[in-house]
Amino acid sequence: MILDRPVETPALLLDLDVMEKNISRMADIARRGGVNLRPHIKTHKSLPIAHRQLVRGALGVTVATLAEAELMAQGGIQDILLAYPPVGSLKLARLLDLAAWIHLTVVVDSMDVARPLAAACKDRGMTLDVYVKVDTGLGRTGRSPEGAVELARELKQLEPLHLVGIMSHCGFSYGRQGSEELAEVAREDGQLMVQTKESLEKIGISIREVSVGSTPTCWTGELVPGVTEIRPGTYVFNDGNNVLLGIVGEEDCAASVLTTVISRPNPRRVVIDAGSKSVAKELSSLGPGYGIVKNLPGAVLERVYEEHGVIELPADSPQPAVGDLLEIIPNHICPVVNLFSEYILVRQGKVVGCWPIGARR
C-alpha cells in the first residue's frame, strides 16, 4: 500500500474499510442464522473496534483475560464472557470486583475451578452466571460431552453459581481446509453441543446458551439449529492462516505489518526491520514462512530474529531496494497485535489516525 505520509516502521497498519466490511459480514451471518454474536476481542484489544462490533449487532464480547475484561468494562461494555477458567484468589477478587458492576459470565471446566469461585461469590453475597466448557476436539481445556453433563449435575447443586450455558471452541478447524471441510467441522461441533444440551435436558437441567465458534467455521455460515451464540475473534482482521485455509482472500485482511527493507545481501535475499518482535514467531501448517509478503509473489519470510526478518525471493522476482516499504500479513494476527502499542489507521492509502492497543497481558 502506498501511504500519503511517512510512517515509522515496523508499524501495525489497520485498513478501516476492510475491517468494517469484515464486521458487517460476520454480523450478517449471525443475523441470518438467528444466533447471537459475541466476538472474541483478544484479537484486537481495542475499545473503538469493540464498539463498532456492538453497533453492528454483537450482543456482548468474549475475553480471555481479566485485563481485557477490565478494558472493555471501562469502555462501558456491560455484557462480557470470560472464556478462560479463573484460578487463584487474586484473580477471583479481581473478577468479582468487575462482576459487581457488569454482567460477567465465566467459563468453568471442573469443580476445582467452580468451588473456590462459588465460595468467593458467597463471601460477597453475589451470584454469577457460568458456562461449562465442552471439549469437542481441540484437546485443550473442557470436558468431554459426557463429562460436561456430569459436571453440570454437580454445578447445579453449587449455589450461588447459575449454570446458563455450554461452550466449545473448535480451534482444530485451523487443521482443515476449504469451506466444505470447515462447514463439516462446524456441523460436527454444533451437533455435539446440541446433543450435550439435550442430554442435560434429559436429567432436568435446562440451559439458555449453546456457544460455539472459531473464525474459519463461522465464515462458512454453517449453523446447527440449537446453537444460540457464535464467538469468532480473528474475523475482524483475518490473517495469513485464514487466507491459506481458503476462506478469505488477501484483500480481506485488515491488519498488516508495515516494514522497511534494511539490507539486500544478494539478489535472492531481502532483510526487513520486522522480526519476531513484530510478526511474532508462529509458523503455519498450511504454508511456508511467518506470513504473506504482499505484492511479491513467491517471496517467503523464511527466518525471523528479534528485529530482523529474512525474505527469500524466487529467481524471477521484482527486486525491492533498501529503503522500500513492504507489507506482511502475519500467519496469526492475535499475538502480533499483542506486540504493538497502537494501530496506524488507514483509509484508501491515507493515514487517518491511530488507536491504542490495551490489555496486552
Closer by beta carbon to ligand PLP, 235 or else 343 = 235
In angstroms, what is the minimal distance from the CB of 307 to ligand PLP?
Answer: 27
CB nearer ligand PLP, residue 105 or residue 234: 234
Sign of CA dihedral 11, 45, 332, 29: negative
Shortest Cβ 186–ligand PLP spacing (Å) = 12
What is the nearest approach in angstroms of ligand PLP to the Cβ of residue 311? Answer: 26
* 142 near ligand PLP (CB under 6 A): no
* Cα–Cα dist 189/223, whole Å: 10
State how far the Cα of 285 lies from the Cα of 56, in Å rounded to an integer: 33
Helix H or strand E encompassing 351: strand 350-356
**CA-to-CA distance for 85 and 68, rounded, in angstroms?**
14
Q: Which is nearer to ligand PLP, 46 or 259 (CB)?
A: 46
Rounded Cα distance between 208 and 346, Å, is: 41
Query: Please, which residue, 54 or 310, has the CB nearer to ligand PLP?
Result: 54
In the complex, what is the shortest distance from the CB of residue 324 to ligand PLP, in angstroms, rounded to a whole number? 32
Q: In this chain, which stretch among 86-94, 97-105, 209-217, 287-295 interacts with ligand PLP, using CB under 6 A?
A: 209-217
Q: Minimum Å distance from CB 62 to ligand PLP?
A: 6
| Cα atoms in the Cβ-side hemisphere of radius 13 Å centred on 197 | 23
**Could you say whether residue 275 binds ligand PLP (CB under 6 A)?**
no
Cα separations in angstroms, 346 against 25, 44, 234, 256, 259: 20, 16, 19, 11, 15
Which among 14-22, 187-195, 208-216, 246-254 is the span making contact with ligand PLP, rule CB under 6 A?
A: 208-216
- Report in angstroms how near the CB of residue 229 gets to ligand PLP at its nearest: 11
* Segment interacting with ligand PLP (CB under 6 A) among 230-238, 268-276, 296-304, 352-360: 230-238
Q: Cβ(210)–Cβ(228) under 8 Å?
A: yes
What minimum distance in Å lies between the beta carbon of 215 and ligand PLP?
Answer: 3
Exactly one of 53, 105, 214, 256 binds ligand PLP (CB under 6 A); that residue is 214
Query: For residue 55, which amino acid is it?
Result: V
Closer to ligand PLP at the Cβ: 161 or 170? 170
Binding residues for ligand PLP, total number by CB under 6 A: 13
Amino acid at 345: L
With CB under 6 A as the contact rule, which of the stretches 5-13, 177-185, 226-234, 320-328 interacts with ligand PLP? 226-234
Measured from the CB atom, the residue of 9 and 22 that comes closer to ligand PLP is 22
- Smallest separation, CB 232 to ligand PLP (Å): 4
In this structure, the strands spanning 350-356 and 325-330 are unpaired
Q: Which three cell numbers stand for residue 253?
A: 485482511
Least Cβ distance, residue 287 to ligand PLP (angstroms): 17
Q: Residue 172 class from Cβ within 10 Å (0-12 exposed, 13-18 middle, 19+ buried)?
A: middle
**Interaction between residue 40 and ligand PLP (CB under 6 A):** yes
> Is position 215 an interface residue for ligand PLP (rule: CB under 6 A)?
yes
231-270 binders of ligand PLP (CB under 6 A): 231-235
The full DSSP string for 105-161 is EEEE-SHHHHHHHHHHHHHHT--EEEEEEB-SSS-SSSB-HHHHHHHHHHHHTSTTE
**63 forms bridges with which residues in the sheet?**
82
C-alpha cell read off for 229: 451464540
Q: How do beta strands 161-167 and 128-133 pair?
A: parallel
Using CB under 6 A, pick the residue from 10, 145, 190, 213 that binds ligand PLP. 213
Cell numbers of 100, please? Answer: 459487581
Residues between 158 and 187 that touch ligand PLP (CB under 6 A): 169, 171
HSE toward the beta carbon, residue 67, CA cutoff 13 A = 9
Please say which residue, 58 or 272, places its beta carbon nearer to ligand PLP.
58
- Write out the residues near ligand PLP by the rule CB under 6 A: 40, 62, 83, 169, 171, 213-215, 231-235
